[in-house]
Amino acid sequence: MDTIKYTLPEERMPTAWYNIQADLPEPLPPVLHPGTHQPIGPADLAPLFPMELIKQEVSTERYIEIPEEVQQVYRQWRCTPLFRAHRLERMLDTPAHIYYKYEGVSPAGSHKPNTAVPQAYYNKQEGVRKLATETGAGQWGSSLAMACAFFGLECDVYMVRVSYDQKPYRRALMEAFGARVTASPSPMTQSGRAVLAEHPDSSGSLGIAISEAVEVAATSGGTIKYALGSVLNHVLMHQTIIGEEALLQLEMAGEYPDIIVGCTGGGSNFAGIVLPFLAAKWRGDRNTRIIAVEPAACPSLTKGPLAYDYGDTAKLTPLVKMNTLGHDFVPPGFHAGGLRYHGMASIVSHLKHLDAIEARAEPQLRCFEAGLMFARAEGIIPAPEANHAVRGAIDEALRCKAEGKGQTILFNLCGHGHFDMQAYIDYQAGKLQDYEYPQEEIAMALAGLPNIG
């Protein structure tokens, strides 16, 4: 009988996160103060984050212990299964071996609780009363709302207007966990009011919602802190539990990946599965190809320049060197809501710059097509974001077929699409269109970037 899934017992769950900063051949470029353009220190971030997370953000320790209380929560759904996609392989008639790590088994349905839980924990430890955050499609907001409920924190979520209107079920989930959800741009903050004054009908963007949440935290006098669901170094580190588990599970399968594929919005689920394998590659003999797949409509990694930029629209955040489409970027209303951020994690941008990873952009119709193929073969409806990883894995499997190569492909199925069925309805009704982010827009984004000497 073919083995279908590789499961690790709770006792074998990794008890440390992997920190790539210990092994980078060149360190990350410094993060700069938005006013002075000088490298920032821990004190600059203290109004926004608890000290433990600030330390993790800049740590060069290779492994960081996962606190006992966080492990306890993780164990509700971890270790997550690694599946061998036998039926998909047969459907594609490929000699490739396809494996996927399934993060959709978390209570919120994606990888996001892997970082929401430790973020809530460290904030609670440091006496914070409330967390403010933004959410696009609602996956991050619902994960943080859940984590806040576990640790007795209040949770204030600024939800991008277009999703707030289109995704009532994600909003209901956040409210069920006890969070307060506000459509962004909102009249509650200066940043929101500034946008509304110019564009009363603004559909919002992650960049605007981040400005609102950051403003709420920064002006709270310390009782409210801010939480971000992707992009930051500590967030990517929390996600490495995915790859650490996958290493052990593939060992059970007696295989090692020739290719690893992940989708990239801000870069966290991609980094989570990839970084532990990249460490193994840098240590020695493994030659794994690592592929990031992003939406053609928001192509930060493939088309955005590597430059210093703000993390938000109102320019409240520090300046980070990253592949960016510009902090003013307002994406078209296509459906992979979680992949609509203007920038890419500094770590992922840096790895691209070092040629340690490949990147490609895919239009959404090809991604939905791949997602439905996957669903019919494997029975899991992927989140629209995850369809980009499915597309990348299927394309690699088809290349293997054409070349007659039995390579091993691993991809991250970072979430299920049960709250995204409207997107599938629209796709099946032929209502979705491809959209390529125009070159002129990219040029305009470039023009709006801060001038760092």
Which one among 264, 313, 323, 364 touches ligand PLP, defined by CB under 6 A?
Answer: 264
Which residue lies nearer to ligand PLP by CB, 44 or 134? 134
Select the span of 196-204, 218-226, 266-274, 368-376 touching ligand PLP (CB under 6 A): 266-274
Select the span of 52-60, 208-216, 267-275, 321-329 touching ligand PLP (CB under 6 A): 267-275
At 320, list the tokens: 């980070």
From 69, 174, 73, 66, select the one nearest 125 (Cα to Cα). 69
Residue 135 touching ligand PLP (CB under 6 A):
no
Contacts of 93 (CB under 8 A, 6+ apart): 401
Which one among 243, 267, 311, 331 touches ligand PLP, defined by CB under 6 A?
Answer: 267
Residue 406 is given by DSSP the state -
d(CA 340, CA 312): 13
Least distance in Å: CB of 91 to ligand PLP? 23
Which residue lies nearer to ligand PLP by CB, 85 or 400? 85
Which residue lies nearer to ligand PLP by CB, 97 or 335? 335
d(CA 303, CA 13): 38
Cα separation values, 34 from 39, 313, 361, Å:
10, 13, 30
Select the span of 93-101, 201-209, 211-219, 382-390 touching ligand PLP (CB under 6 A): 382-390
Question: What are the two backbone dihedrals, phi and then psi, of residue 294, each rounded to the nearest 5 degrees?
Answer: -125, 165
d(CA 184, CA 328): 15
d(CA 369, CA 282): 35
Least distance in Å: CB of 224 to ligand PLP? 23
- Residues near ligand PLP (CB under 6 A), total: 20
Which one among 166, 240, 268, 323 touches ligand PLP, defined by CB under 6 A?
Answer: 268
Which residue lies nearer to ligand PLP by CB, 142 or 186? 142
d(CA 119, CA 84): 32
Contact code string over 383-402 relative to ligand PLP, x by CB under 6 A:
x-xx----------------
d(CA 445, CA 305): 9
**What residue spans of 199-240 are helical by DSSP H?**
206-218, 233-238
Least distance in Å: CB of 323 to ligand PLP? 13
Cα separation values, 115 from 82, 106, 197, 245, Å:
20, 12, 35, 16
Which one among 71, 110, 191, 313 touches ligand PLP, defined by CB under 6 A?
Answer: 110
The alpha-carbon radius of gyration of the chain (Å, integer) is 20
Residue 112 touching ligand PLP (CB under 6 A):
yes
Which parts of 151-210 interact with ligand PLP (CB under 6 A)?
Answer: none
Which residue lies nearer to ligand PLP by CB, 183 or 383? 383
Which residue lies nearer to ligand PLP by CB, 97 or 111? 111
d(CA 383, CA 337): 10
Residue 415 touching ligand PLP (CB under 6 A):
yes
Which one among 153, 263, 291, 293 touches ligand PLP, defined by CB under 6 A?
Answer: 263
Which residue lies nearer to ligand PLP by CB, 124 or 170? 170
Return left, alpha or beta for 109; rule: phi > 0 is left, psi -120 to 50 is alpha, else beta. Answer: left
Residue 371 touching ligand PLP (CB under 6 A):
no
Residue 414 touching ligand PLP (CB under 6 A):
yes
From 394, 427, 428, 424, select the one nearest 98 (Cα to Cα). 394
Residue 230 touching ligand PLP (CB under 6 A):
yes
Residue 266 touching ligand PLP (CB under 6 A):
yes
Chain positions contacting ligand PLP, by CB under 6 A: 110, 112, 139-140, 230, 263-270, 338-339, 383, 385-386, 414-415
